[in-house]
Amino acid sequence: MKRRKIKPDRKVRPRNEITGQEVETFLSAIRGFENGHYPKLRDLRTLIPSMDLYKINVILRYLERSKAIIVDNDGYIVWTRKDAPDQLTLGDVADISDDLKKFLEEKKQEEGEAEEEEEGQS
């Protein structure tokens, strides 16, 4: 009986390891969606058949944490950051009413005062 040479196994990559090319493929598929609208999360599997569902989820969570995409409660991707470094964020372009701005400023001042009181008591 002849002995076969045992080939060393290829280096096994972790399932959650993603490459820059995979992220770009993901983003281009989202941006190239029909009619200029963004897709629903459940449609991503059909948009990117070359990636398995686990890898799609890893990339999706990565892009959400890095604030490159925003997903609403219904599961639609509603915004993606462009590649330009001077691109405004959703918060920059959002039309916020004056009442809400005033409320947020008051809330911020109240929190600052509460922190000062806690430091004074310590």
What backbone phi and psi angles, to 5 degrees, belong to 76? -95, 140
Residue 79, SS3 per DSSP: strand
Query: Is residue 107 classed as helix, strand or coil in its secondary structure?
Result: helix
pLDDT of residue 102: 86
Please give the backbone phi and psi of residue 80, each rounded to the nearest 5 degrees, phi first: -130, 140
Candidates 18, 17, 35; CA nearest to 26 is: 18
| CATH number of the domain located at residue range(s) 13-84 in this protein | 1.10.10
| CA–CA distance, 112 with 122 (Å, rounded to integer) | 16
Using an 8 Å Cβ cutoff, are 71 and 77 in contact? yes
DSSP 68: S
User: Phi then psi for 69, rounded to 5 degrees?
Assistant: -140, 160
pLDDT score, position 61: 92
Indicate the SS3 state at residue 83: coil
Distances (CA, A) of 114 to 4, 85, 104, 117: 74, 37, 15, 5
- The low-confidence residues of the chain, meaning pLDDT below 50, are none
In the chain, where the domains are located: 13-84, 88-122
